[in-house]
Amino acid sequence: MIIAFNGFRDEEYAEPKAVFEQAGIEVITASTRVGTAKGKFGLPVQVDIALEDLKVTDYQAVVFVGGPGSYDYFDDPAAQGIANETVKANKILAAICASVSILANAGLLKGKTATCFSGEGYNLKAKGANYTAKGLEIDGKIITADGPAHAKQFGQVIAKQLDQ
């Protein structure tokens, strides 16, 4: 799971992570650096690996967490590179809330059905996505969700796809 070092959305990290762990899925947390990251509402999270050291081939899925801090990744070459590598490796790529714009800005949502935080819907449309404003969307191995209200379901859908 990729989070902003400061300002990720607490429940968009904690709820899917709990689902993954209950399903026996190991969760590795990545950010711009290792150490203790802090969520928008104060949730402390230990970051296991820096983005620059992350190798997509070591994982079954990559999940971008939203929140105001995720805006730092919108045009970040490392984040976009990880997203592109995930698609090229035919692995699950998921994003929730505002972080879906990372995928759009990387050119990965052109012609894809996706959703996100409503404030970023314009960006998805501008980048060629079929933006639906629904709670959750699955288009092949790309999974997107609108925000905290669907964080648990987002985690459940990812866990189900990992189990296939």
Distance between CA atoms of 6 and 37, rounded to whole angstroms? 6
- Inside any domain, residue 117: yes
Closest CA to 62 of 92, 85, 32, 106: 92
Query: Please, is 90 exposed, middle or buried when counting C-beta atoms within 10 Å of its C-beta (0-12, 13-18, 19+)?
Result: exposed
Distance between CA atoms of 84 and 16, rounded to whole angstroms? 22
The residue with tokens 């714009």 is 101
- Inside any domain, residue 64: yes
> Which pLDDT belongs to residue 123?
98
48 pLDDT higher than 90: yes
Q: What is the pLDDT of residues 10-32, one digit of tens each?
A: 999 999 999 999 999 999 999 99
Give the pLDDT band (50/70/90) at residue 63: very high
- Inside any domain, residue 43: yes
- Inside any domain, residue 52: yes
Alpha helices in the chain (DSSP H): 10-22, 77-88, 100-105, 121-126, 151-162
Give the pLDDT band (50/70/90) at residue 121: very high
Residue 21: which domain range?
6-162
107-112 average pLDDT score? 98
Q: What is the pLDDT of residues 129-141, one digit of tens each?
A: 999 999 999 999 9
Share of the chain above pLDDT 70, in %: 100
- Inside any domain, residue 81: yes
Q: What is the pLDDT of residues 73-91, one digit of tens each?
A: 999 999 999 999 999 999 9
Query: 127: domain CATH number?
Result: 3.40.50.880
Please name the amino acid found at residue 123: N
DSSP code per residue over 82-95: HHHHHHHTT-EEEE
Q: Domain total for the chain?
A: 1
Give the pLDDT band (50/70/90) at residue 164: confident
